[in-house]
Amino acid sequence: MKDRREEISHRGLAHKDFFCAANNGFGDQLNAYPHSMYWFKDKLYVGTTRSNLCLFKVSKIQKKLGRWPVQCPEYVYDQDMRAQIWSFDPAEAVEGEPNSGWSLRAQSPWIDVDGEKLPREVGYRGMCVFKGESDDEEHLYVATFTPARGFGTRIYRTSDGDNYEEIPMPDGFDRSIITLRLIVPHKGWLFTSPTGKAGGEVNTSGNAIIYGTKDPAKGEWKEINTPGFGRAKNIGIFEMIGCGDYLYAGTGNPDGYEIWRTKVEGEPPFNWECVVEKGAYRGPLNQGVASFTTLNGIVYAGGGIQHGGIDRANGLGPAGPELIRIHEDGSWDLLVGTERQTPVGYKKPLSGYSPGFDNLFNGYFWQMETHEGWIYVGTFDWTVMIRYSEDDNWPMPFRKMIERYGMENLIKLRAGAELYRSRDGENWLPVTTQGFGNEFNYGIRTFQSTPIGLAVGFVNPFGPKVGMDVDDDFTYVPNPKGGLEVWIGNQKDDTE
Protein backbone atom coordinates (compact mmCIF):
# COMPACT_ATOMS: atom_id res chain seq x y z
CA MET A 1 0.00 0.00 0.00
CA LYS A 2 1.34 3.44 -0.91
CA ASP A 3 2.58 5.56 1.98
CA ARG A 4 0.27 8.51 2.68
CA ARG A 5 3.19 10.87 3.26
CA GLU A 6 4.55 10.01 -0.18
CA GLU A 7 1.19 10.90 -1.75
CA ILE A 8 1.21 14.25 0.04
CA SER A 9 4.76 15.11 -1.02
CA HIS A 10 3.90 14.30 -4.64
CA ARG A 11 1.36 17.14 -4.59
CA GLY A 12 3.93 19.78 -3.74
CA LEU A 13 3.21 22.86 -1.69
CA ALA A 14 0.37 25.15 -2.73
CA HIS A 15 -0.52 28.60 -1.38
CA LYS A 16 -2.91 27.12 1.19
CA ASP A 17 -0.12 25.03 2.71
CA PHE A 18 1.83 28.08 3.90
CA PHE A 19 1.46 30.13 7.06
CA CYS A 20 3.13 33.38 8.08
CA ALA A 21 5.65 32.55 10.81
CA ALA A 22 7.13 36.07 11.08
CA ASN A 23 6.24 39.53 9.81
CA ASN A 24 7.14 43.19 10.36
CA GLY A 25 10.80 42.19 10.69
CA PHE A 26 10.15 40.15 13.85
CA GLY A 27 8.47 43.27 15.24
CA ASP A 28 11.33 45.59 14.15
CA GLN A 29 10.65 46.89 10.64
CA LEU A 30 14.26 47.90 10.05
CA ASN A 31 14.90 44.16 9.62
CA ALA A 32 14.45 44.29 5.85
CA TYR A 33 16.25 41.25 4.42
CA PRO A 34 16.17 37.68 5.74
CA HIS A 35 19.59 37.51 4.11
CA SER A 36 20.57 34.08 5.42
CA MET A 37 18.69 31.07 6.72
CA TYR A 38 19.62 27.61 7.99
CA TRP A 39 18.22 24.74 10.09
CA PHE A 40 20.48 24.01 13.07
CA LYS A 41 19.86 21.89 16.16
CA ASP A 42 16.08 21.68 15.71
CA LYS A 43 15.63 25.40 15.09
CA LEU A 44 15.44 27.68 12.07
CA TYR A 45 18.05 30.46 12.15
CA VAL A 46 17.64 33.69 10.19
CA GLY A 47 20.24 36.44 9.76
CA THR A 48 18.98 39.92 8.91
CA THR A 49 20.23 42.96 7.05
CA ARG A 50 18.89 46.30 8.17
CA SER A 51 17.21 49.19 6.33
CA ASN A 52 18.56 48.26 2.90
CA LEU A 53 16.79 51.02 1.00
CA CYS A 54 18.44 53.62 3.25
CA LEU A 55 21.81 51.96 2.67
CA PHE A 56 21.08 51.93 -1.05
CA LYS A 57 20.17 55.63 -1.00
CA VAL A 58 23.63 56.65 0.26
CA SER A 59 25.54 54.12 -1.87
CA LYS A 60 27.44 55.02 -5.02
CA ILE A 61 25.30 52.69 -7.14
CA GLN A 62 23.63 54.55 -10.02
CA LYS A 63 19.89 54.83 -9.54
CA LYS A 64 16.94 56.64 -11.08
CA LEU A 65 14.10 57.22 -8.65
CA GLY A 66 11.98 60.32 -8.67
CA ARG A 67 10.85 59.79 -5.09
CA TRP A 68 12.54 57.73 -2.42
CA PRO A 69 10.38 54.77 -1.27
CA VAL A 70 11.05 54.99 2.47
CA GLN A 71 11.77 57.70 4.98
CA CYS A 72 15.46 57.77 5.88
CA PRO A 73 17.43 59.85 8.37
CA GLU A 74 19.92 62.38 7.02
CA TYR A 75 22.70 60.11 8.24
CA VAL A 76 21.97 56.40 7.82
CA TYR A 77 23.69 55.40 11.07
CA ASP A 78 21.45 57.69 13.10
CA GLN A 79 19.15 54.66 13.15
CA ASP A 80 20.08 51.31 14.67
CA MET A 81 21.71 49.42 11.79
CA ARG A 82 23.05 46.51 13.84
CA ALA A 83 22.34 43.18 12.13
CA GLN A 84 20.50 40.47 14.05
CA ILE A 85 20.23 36.67 14.20
CA TRP A 86 16.90 35.12 15.17
CA SER A 87 15.87 31.50 15.75
CA PHE A 88 12.47 29.84 15.43
CA ASP A 89 11.50 27.02 17.79
CA PRO A 90 8.38 25.33 16.38
CA ALA A 91 7.57 23.90 19.83
CA GLU A 92 7.17 27.46 21.15
CA ALA A 93 5.09 28.83 18.26
CA VAL A 94 1.40 29.62 18.67
CA GLU A 95 -0.79 28.84 15.68
CA GLY A 96 -2.08 31.96 13.96
CA GLU A 97 0.32 34.28 15.80
CA PRO A 98 3.21 35.48 13.60
CA ASN A 99 6.45 36.18 15.49
CA SER A 100 5.64 33.65 18.21
CA GLY A 101 8.35 31.04 18.75
CA TRP A 102 11.13 33.43 17.69
CA SER A 103 14.07 34.52 19.85
CA LEU A 104 16.76 37.12 19.22
CA ARG A 105 19.98 35.13 19.55
CA ALA A 106 22.66 37.62 18.50
CA GLN A 107 23.10 41.23 17.48
CA SER A 108 26.05 43.02 15.97
CA PRO A 109 28.05 45.01 18.52
CA TRP A 110 29.03 48.63 18.04
CA ILE A 111 32.59 49.45 17.01
CA ASP A 112 34.62 52.64 17.16
CA VAL A 113 36.05 53.85 13.85
CA ASP A 114 38.05 57.06 14.13
CA GLY A 115 35.92 58.18 17.05
CA GLU A 116 32.59 57.31 15.40
CA LYS A 117 30.25 54.59 16.62
CA LEU A 118 29.31 52.17 13.81
CA PRO A 119 27.70 48.72 13.73
CA ARG A 120 30.29 45.99 13.22
CA GLU A 121 27.83 44.34 10.81
CA VAL A 122 24.78 45.69 9.01
CA GLY A 123 23.88 42.24 7.70
CA TYR A 124 24.41 38.51 7.94
CA ARG A 125 24.42 37.44 4.31
CA GLY A 126 25.19 33.71 4.34
CA MET A 127 24.84 30.64 6.57
CA CYS A 128 25.72 26.98 6.56
CA VAL A 129 26.38 24.09 8.95
CA PHE A 130 29.80 22.41 8.86
CA LYS A 131 32.09 20.20 10.94
CA GLY A 132 35.82 20.79 10.45
CA GLU A 133 38.61 18.28 10.87
CA SER A 134 39.51 19.44 14.38
CA ASP A 135 35.90 19.92 15.56
CA ASP A 136 33.99 17.64 17.89
CA GLU A 137 30.63 18.81 16.60
CA GLU A 138 28.92 20.79 13.86
CA HIS A 139 28.84 24.57 13.98
CA LEU A 140 26.58 27.14 12.38
CA TYR A 141 28.70 29.46 10.22
CA VAL A 142 27.65 33.03 9.42
CA ALA A 143 29.06 35.32 6.69
CA THR A 144 28.80 39.07 7.16
CA PHE A 145 28.02 42.39 5.48
CA THR A 146 29.93 45.28 7.05
CA PRO A 147 30.03 49.09 6.75
CA ALA A 148 32.40 50.44 4.12
CA ARG A 149 34.35 52.23 6.85
CA GLY A 150 34.41 49.20 9.13
CA PHE A 151 36.91 46.42 9.69
CA GLY A 152 35.99 44.34 6.65
CA THR A 153 33.96 41.17 6.33
CA ARG A 154 34.35 38.27 8.75
CA ILE A 155 33.03 34.73 9.28
CA TYR A 156 31.65 33.73 12.67
CA ARG A 157 30.50 30.39 14.00
CA THR A 158 28.53 29.04 16.94
CA SER A 159 27.89 25.66 18.49
CA ASP A 160 24.90 26.76 20.59
CA GLY A 161 23.28 29.64 18.69
CA ASP A 162 24.19 32.21 21.33
CA ASN A 163 27.97 32.47 21.49
CA TYR A 164 29.79 33.36 18.27
CA GLU A 165 33.51 33.18 17.62
CA GLU A 166 35.47 34.63 14.72
CA ILE A 167 37.43 32.23 12.55
CA PRO A 168 40.62 33.15 10.63
CA MET A 169 39.97 34.72 7.24
CA PRO A 170 41.84 33.93 4.00
CA ASP A 171 44.98 35.99 3.40
CA GLY A 172 43.40 37.62 0.33
CA PHE A 173 40.76 39.45 2.37
CA ASP A 174 41.35 43.02 3.54
CA ARG A 175 39.18 45.86 4.81
CA SER A 176 38.02 46.70 1.29
CA ILE A 177 36.11 43.38 1.11
CA ILE A 178 32.92 44.27 2.97
CA THR A 179 30.66 41.30 2.30
CA LEU A 180 30.41 37.58 1.65
CA ARG A 181 27.45 36.03 -0.15
CA LEU A 182 28.72 32.47 -0.07
CA ILE A 183 29.77 29.96 2.53
CA VAL A 184 29.34 26.49 1.07
CA PRO A 185 30.33 23.00 2.30
CA HIS A 186 31.16 20.13 -0.07
CA LYS A 187 33.28 16.97 0.14
CA GLY A 188 34.69 17.81 3.56
CA TRP A 189 35.68 21.34 2.52
CA LEU A 190 34.22 24.74 3.39
CA PHE A 191 34.34 27.24 0.52
CA THR A 192 33.88 30.99 0.28
CA SER A 193 34.64 33.85 -2.09
CA PRO A 194 34.78 37.65 -1.71
CA THR A 195 31.46 39.09 -2.86
CA GLY A 196 31.63 42.87 -2.67
CA LYS A 197 33.93 45.71 -1.79
CA ALA A 198 33.69 49.27 -0.53
CA GLY A 199 32.72 51.94 -3.02
CA GLY A 200 29.24 50.75 -4.05
CA GLU A 201 30.28 47.32 -5.35
CA VAL A 202 28.29 45.11 -2.98
CA ASN A 203 27.94 42.28 -5.53
CA THR A 204 31.27 42.31 -7.34
CA SER A 205 34.70 42.13 -5.79
CA GLY A 206 36.61 42.16 -9.07
CA ASN A 207 38.33 39.04 -7.75
CA ALA A 208 36.69 35.79 -8.86
CA ILE A 209 38.70 33.62 -6.50
CA ILE A 210 37.46 30.75 -4.33
CA TYR A 211 39.04 29.83 -1.01
CA GLY A 212 38.65 26.46 0.68
CA THR A 213 39.58 24.89 4.00
CA LYS A 214 39.00 21.57 5.71
CA ASP A 215 39.54 23.08 9.14
CA PRO A 216 37.97 26.54 9.49
CA ALA A 217 38.89 26.82 13.20
CA LYS A 218 42.55 26.83 12.19
CA GLY A 219 42.12 28.81 8.99
CA GLU A 220 44.47 27.12 6.55
CA TRP A 221 42.57 28.54 3.58
CA LYS A 222 43.82 27.65 0.11
CA GLU A 223 43.07 29.17 -3.28
CA ILE A 224 41.25 26.44 -5.20
CA ASN A 225 41.03 28.09 -8.62
CA THR A 226 43.13 30.42 -10.71
CA PRO A 227 41.76 34.00 -10.44
CA GLY A 228 38.74 34.37 -12.70
CA PHE A 229 39.41 30.86 -14.01
CA GLY A 230 41.95 32.59 -16.22
CA ARG A 231 39.39 34.98 -17.71
CA ALA A 232 39.64 38.63 -16.74
CA LYS A 233 35.96 39.46 -17.26
CA ASN A 234 34.81 37.09 -14.52
CA ILE A 235 34.39 39.80 -11.90
CA GLY A 236 33.10 37.69 -9.03
CA ILE A 237 31.73 34.35 -7.90
CA PHE A 238 27.97 34.81 -7.43
CA GLU A 239 26.94 31.26 -6.46
CA MET A 240 28.36 27.82 -5.60
CA ILE A 241 26.80 24.43 -4.97
CA GLY A 242 27.90 20.82 -4.64
CA CYS A 243 26.26 18.11 -6.74
CA GLY A 244 27.55 14.55 -6.87
CA ASP A 245 31.29 14.57 -7.51
CA TYR A 246 31.37 18.21 -8.55
CA LEU A 247 31.53 21.66 -7.00
CA TYR A 248 29.85 24.17 -9.32
CA ALA A 249 30.64 27.90 -9.36
CA GLY A 250 28.70 30.60 -11.20
CA THR A 251 30.32 33.92 -12.07
CA GLY A 252 29.29 37.45 -12.84
CA ASN A 253 30.57 38.60 -16.22
CA PRO A 254 29.64 41.64 -18.37
CA ASP A 255 29.65 39.39 -21.44
CA GLY A 256 27.37 36.84 -19.76
CA TYR A 257 27.87 34.53 -16.80
CA GLU A 258 30.01 31.41 -16.80
CA ILE A 259 29.52 28.17 -14.86
CA TRP A 260 32.57 26.12 -13.93
CA ARG A 261 32.94 22.84 -12.06
CA THR A 262 35.63 20.74 -10.39
CA LYS A 263 35.76 17.31 -8.78
CA VAL A 264 37.75 18.75 -5.83
CA GLU A 265 40.49 16.18 -6.34
CA GLY A 266 44.24 16.44 -5.82
CA GLU A 267 45.92 19.55 -4.50
CA PRO A 268 44.55 23.08 -4.98
CA PRO A 269 44.15 24.82 -7.28
CA PHE A 270 41.94 22.07 -8.65
CA ASN A 271 41.24 21.28 -12.26
CA TRP A 272 38.14 23.11 -13.51
CA GLU A 273 36.06 22.86 -16.64
CA CYS A 274 33.67 25.46 -18.07
CA VAL A 275 30.24 23.96 -18.79
CA VAL A 276 28.31 27.18 -19.61
CA GLU A 277 29.71 30.40 -21.04
CA LYS A 278 28.55 33.74 -22.45
CA GLY A 279 25.40 33.69 -20.33
CA ALA A 280 24.26 30.43 -21.96
CA TYR A 281 24.78 32.35 -25.23
CA ARG A 282 22.29 35.04 -24.26
CA GLY A 283 25.17 37.36 -23.49
CA PRO A 284 25.05 40.31 -21.07
CA LEU A 285 21.34 39.87 -20.30
CA ASN A 286 22.42 36.82 -18.31
CA GLN A 287 24.89 38.88 -16.32
CA GLY A 288 25.25 36.66 -13.27
CA VAL A 289 24.22 33.35 -11.75
CA ALA A 290 21.89 34.34 -8.91
CA SER A 291 20.84 30.92 -7.63
CA PHE A 292 21.54 27.19 -7.76
CA THR A 293 19.73 24.07 -6.64
CA THR A 294 19.97 20.37 -7.46
CA LEU A 295 17.48 17.57 -8.06
CA ASN A 296 18.27 13.96 -9.01
CA GLY A 297 21.89 14.75 -9.84
CA ILE A 298 21.03 17.70 -12.09
CA VAL A 299 22.05 21.29 -11.35
CA TYR A 300 19.54 24.10 -11.89
CA ALA A 301 20.86 27.65 -12.37
CA GLY A 302 18.85 30.86 -12.23
CA GLY A 303 20.25 34.07 -13.65
CA GLY A 304 19.67 37.79 -13.61
CA ILE A 305 21.02 41.31 -13.84
CA GLN A 306 22.16 42.87 -10.58
CA HIS A 307 20.27 45.69 -8.83
CA GLY A 308 16.88 44.17 -9.54
CA GLY A 309 17.29 43.52 -13.24
CA ILE A 310 18.47 47.03 -14.19
CA ASP A 311 22.22 47.66 -13.98
CA ARG A 312 22.49 51.32 -14.94
CA ALA A 313 26.25 51.51 -14.52
CA ASN A 314 26.73 48.88 -17.22
CA GLY A 315 23.70 49.84 -19.33
CA LEU A 316 21.94 46.50 -18.89
CA GLY A 317 18.25 45.80 -18.59
CA PRO A 318 15.55 45.74 -17.77
CA ALA A 319 15.37 42.09 -18.77
CA GLY A 320 13.84 39.02 -17.19
CA PRO A 321 15.95 36.12 -15.90
CA GLU A 322 16.45 32.71 -17.44
CA LEU A 323 16.58 29.24 -15.90
CA ILE A 324 18.78 26.43 -17.21
CA ARG A 325 19.75 22.94 -16.04
CA ILE A 326 23.09 21.18 -16.35
CA HIS A 327 23.45 17.42 -16.70
CA GLU A 328 26.30 15.32 -15.33
CA ASP A 329 27.84 15.03 -18.80
CA GLY A 330 28.12 18.84 -18.94
CA SER A 331 25.31 19.43 -21.44
CA TRP A 332 22.59 21.95 -20.60
CA ASP A 333 18.96 22.71 -21.37
CA LEU A 334 17.10 26.02 -21.48
CA LEU A 335 14.02 25.79 -19.26
CA VAL A 336 12.76 29.37 -18.97
CA GLY A 337 13.99 32.02 -21.40
CA THR A 338 14.36 33.14 -24.99
CA GLU A 339 14.78 30.57 -27.74
CA ARG A 340 17.94 30.93 -29.82
CA GLN A 341 20.57 29.22 -31.90
CA THR A 342 23.78 28.50 -30.01
CA PRO A 343 27.13 26.85 -30.83
CA VAL A 344 25.87 23.78 -28.93
CA GLY A 345 22.56 23.56 -30.78
CA TYR A 346 19.17 25.25 -30.95
CA LYS A 347 17.80 26.03 -27.51
CA LYS A 348 14.08 26.42 -26.86
CA PRO A 349 12.58 26.95 -23.38
CA LEU A 350 11.26 23.52 -22.47
CA SER A 351 8.72 25.00 -20.07
CA GLY A 352 7.25 27.31 -22.70
CA TYR A 353 7.90 30.31 -20.44
CA SER A 354 9.76 33.36 -21.68
CA PRO A 355 12.22 35.11 -19.32
CA GLY A 356 10.91 35.77 -15.81
CA PHE A 357 8.02 33.31 -16.15
CA ASP A 358 6.48 35.72 -18.68
CA ASN A 359 6.65 38.58 -16.18
CA LEU A 360 8.54 41.68 -17.36
CA PHE A 361 8.94 42.84 -13.77
CA ASN A 362 10.82 39.79 -12.48
CA GLY A 363 14.42 40.99 -12.27
CA TYR A 364 16.09 37.72 -11.30
CA PHE A 365 15.53 34.24 -9.98
CA TRP A 366 16.89 35.19 -6.59
CA GLN A 367 16.80 31.87 -4.79
CA MET A 368 15.99 28.21 -5.38
CA GLU A 369 15.54 25.20 -3.11
CA THR A 370 14.62 21.54 -3.43
CA HIS A 371 12.08 20.22 -0.94
CA GLU A 372 10.46 16.77 -0.92
CA GLY A 373 11.23 16.16 -4.59
CA TRP A 374 10.11 19.57 -5.84
CA ILE A 375 12.14 22.53 -7.08
CA TYR A 376 11.01 25.93 -5.77
CA VAL A 377 12.08 29.16 -7.50
CA GLY A 378 11.63 32.60 -5.94
CA THR A 379 11.86 35.85 -7.86
CA PHE A 380 12.63 39.51 -7.31
CA ASP A 381 9.65 41.48 -8.65
CA TRP A 382 10.05 45.25 -8.85
CA THR A 383 6.45 46.14 -9.79
CA VAL A 384 5.93 48.13 -6.59
CA MET A 385 8.93 50.32 -7.48
CA ILE A 386 7.12 51.94 -10.43
CA ARG A 387 5.37 54.04 -7.79
CA TYR A 388 8.70 55.77 -7.15
CA SER A 389 10.45 55.71 -10.53
CA GLU A 390 10.70 58.56 -13.03
CA ASP A 391 8.18 57.87 -15.78
CA ASP A 392 10.48 59.21 -18.51
CA ASN A 393 12.75 56.23 -17.77
CA TRP A 394 10.06 53.62 -18.29
CA PRO A 395 10.82 51.28 -21.22
CA MET A 396 8.03 51.12 -23.78
CA PRO A 397 6.65 47.68 -22.73
CA PHE A 398 6.25 48.92 -19.15
CA ARG A 399 4.79 52.24 -20.27
CA LYS A 400 2.13 50.47 -22.32
CA MET A 401 1.23 48.18 -19.44
CA ILE A 402 0.97 51.09 -17.01
CA GLU A 403 -1.14 53.09 -19.45
CA ARG A 404 -3.45 50.12 -19.87
CA TYR A 405 -4.03 49.32 -16.21
CA GLY A 406 -3.03 52.47 -14.34
CA MET A 407 -0.09 52.45 -11.95
CA GLU A 408 -1.91 51.63 -8.72
CA ASN A 409 -4.12 49.03 -10.39
CA LEU A 410 -1.05 47.37 -11.86
CA ILE A 411 0.58 47.28 -8.43
CA LYS A 412 -2.60 45.80 -6.97
CA LEU A 413 -2.76 43.15 -9.69
CA ARG A 414 0.92 42.24 -10.07
CA ALA A 415 3.14 43.44 -7.22
CA GLY A 416 4.90 40.97 -4.93
CA ALA A 417 7.52 38.28 -5.46
CA GLU A 418 6.60 35.13 -7.33
CA LEU A 419 7.11 31.54 -6.17
CA TYR A 420 6.95 28.66 -8.65
CA ARG A 421 7.40 24.89 -8.20
CA SER A 422 8.21 21.94 -10.46
CA ARG A 423 9.04 18.24 -10.17
CA ASP A 424 10.95 18.05 -13.46
CA GLY A 425 12.08 21.57 -14.38
CA GLU A 426 9.78 21.68 -17.38
CA ASN A 427 6.27 21.85 -15.93
CA TRP A 428 5.80 24.72 -13.47
CA LEU A 429 2.98 25.69 -11.13
CA PRO A 430 2.62 29.04 -9.36
CA VAL A 431 2.45 28.99 -5.56
CA THR A 432 2.06 32.76 -5.26
CA THR A 433 2.47 35.54 -7.80
CA GLN A 434 1.86 38.37 -5.33
CA GLY A 435 4.16 37.87 -2.36
CA PHE A 436 1.55 35.93 -0.38
CA GLY A 437 -0.74 38.95 -0.52
CA ASN A 438 1.78 41.66 0.42
CA GLU A 439 2.76 44.00 -2.42
CA PHE A 440 5.83 45.08 -0.44
CA ASN A 441 7.22 41.49 -0.29
CA TYR A 442 9.14 42.18 -3.47
CA GLY A 443 11.75 39.42 -3.33
CA ILE A 444 12.38 35.89 -2.07
CA ARG A 445 15.96 35.91 -0.81
CA THR A 446 16.15 32.72 1.26
CA PHE A 447 14.75 29.20 1.33
CA GLN A 448 15.40 26.35 3.71
CA SER A 449 14.08 22.82 3.50
CA THR A 450 13.42 21.75 7.10
CA PRO A 451 11.75 18.86 8.95
CA ILE A 452 8.80 21.19 9.68
CA GLY A 453 8.36 22.32 6.07
CA LEU A 454 9.78 24.69 3.47
CA ALA A 455 10.79 28.05 4.96
CA VAL A 456 10.60 31.06 2.62
CA GLY A 457 12.21 34.41 3.48
CA PHE A 458 10.66 37.51 1.87
CA VAL A 459 12.63 40.72 1.45
CA ASN A 460 10.56 43.73 2.50
CA PRO A 461 12.49 46.99 3.12
CA PHE A 462 9.40 49.24 3.06
CA GLY A 463 9.23 50.33 6.65
CA PRO A 464 8.70 51.76 9.15
CA LYS A 465 7.37 54.61 6.95
CA VAL A 466 6.72 54.29 3.23
CA GLY A 467 6.14 56.98 0.62
CA MET A 468 2.58 57.19 -0.70
CA ASP A 469 0.40 59.67 -2.56
CA VAL A 470 -2.15 60.99 -0.06
CA ASP A 471 -4.59 63.64 -1.34
CA ASP A 472 -2.28 64.32 -4.31
CA ASP A 473 0.67 64.90 -1.99
CA PHE A 474 3.61 62.51 -1.68
CA THR A 475 4.20 61.86 2.00
CA TYR A 476 5.60 59.20 4.31
CA VAL A 477 3.08 57.20 6.30
CA PRO A 478 3.41 54.24 8.71
CA ASN A 479 3.40 50.95 6.82
CA PRO A 480 1.79 48.04 8.67
CA LYS A 481 2.98 45.72 5.88
CA GLY A 482 6.67 46.69 6.14
CA GLY A 483 9.56 44.53 7.34
CA LEU A 484 10.80 41.08 6.31
CA GLU A 485 8.50 38.07 6.43
CA VAL A 486 9.09 34.33 6.86
CA TRP A 487 6.51 31.82 5.65
CA ILE A 488 6.56 28.07 6.24
CA GLY A 489 4.82 25.51 4.03
CA ASN A 490 3.90 22.09 5.27
CA GLN A 491 1.34 19.61 3.95
CA LYS A 492 -0.80 17.95 6.57
CA ASP A 493 -2.52 14.62 6.26
CA ASP A 494 -6.07 15.72 7.05
CA THR A 495 -7.35 12.14 6.88
CA GLU A 496 -5.65 11.14 10.13
Tens-digit pLDDT profile for residues 140-192: 999 999 999 999 999 999 999 999 999 999 988 888 999 999 999 999 999 99
Q: Under a CB-based contact definition with an 8 Å cutoff, are residues 313 and 389 in contact?
A: no
Residue 311 is given by DSSP the state B
Domain boundaries, the chain: 31-489
Q: Check pLDDT > 50 for residue 495.
A: no
Q: Under a CB-based contact definition with an 8 Å cutoff, are residues 127 and 142 in contact?
A: yes
Long-range (24+ apart) CB contacts under 8 A made by 253-257 are 253/279, 253/287, 253/288, 254/284, 254/287, 254/314, 255/279, 255/283, 255/284, 256/280, 256/281, 256/282, 256/283, 256/284, 256/285, 256/286, 256/287, 257/286, 257/287, 257/288, 257/289, 257/303
Percent of the chain whose predicted confidence (pLDDT) is above 90: 83
74-88, 190-204, 274-288: range with lowest mean pLDDT: 190-204
Q: Check pLDDT > 90 for residue 486.
A: yes
Per-residue confidence band for 496, with pLDDT thresholds at 50, 70 and 90: very low
Residue 173 is given by DSSP the state -
314-346 pLDDT, tens per residue?
Answer: 788 789 999 999 999 999 999 999 999 999 999
66-80 pLDDT, tens per residue?
Answer: 899 999 999 999 999
d(CA 446, CA 356): 18
Provide the whole-model pTM.
0.96
Q: Check pLDDT > 60 for residue 356.
A: yes
Residue 58 phi, psi (nearest 5):
-95, 0
Look at residue 206 in the predicted model and tell me its pLDDT: 80
Angstrom distances, CA of residue 479 to CA of 22, 320, 456: 16, 29, 22
The verdict on domain 31-489 having CATH code 2.120.10.30 is yes
